[in-house]
Amino acid sequence: MIAPRGSVGSVGGIINFSNQLSGIAAPIVTGYVVAATRSYAWAFGISAIYLLIGIGSYFMLLGKIERVEPEAAR
């Protein structure tokens, strides 16, 4: 189970918020890095490191995903 039953909306909101922050920060950081180094090599390196951190977080924080059977209607 990814999120407890009562906090699915909160978890979804937190995930979407962090994704939006990354989407806003990526072009800004890329612009500053390219302006400072006059090369895209460092910008691609930073994005590769960010990707590896995301992959590591996925495997370490998510845990086992199990199917939860819905309760029978009463």
Phi-psi region of 65 (alpha: psi -120 to 50; beta: other; left: phi over 0): beta
- The pLDDT mean for the chain works out to 87
**pTM strictly above 0.75:** no
User: For residue 29, with 0-12 CB atoms within 10 Å meaning exposed, 13-18 middle and 19 or more buried, which class applies?
Assistant: middle
Q: Please check whether residue 50 is in contact with residue 25, taking contact to mean a CB–CB distance below 8 angstroms.
A: no
> Tell me, what's the pLDDT at 23?
92
Compute the C-alpha angle 53/58/63, nearest 5°.
145
Which structure tokens are listed for 25? 């920060």
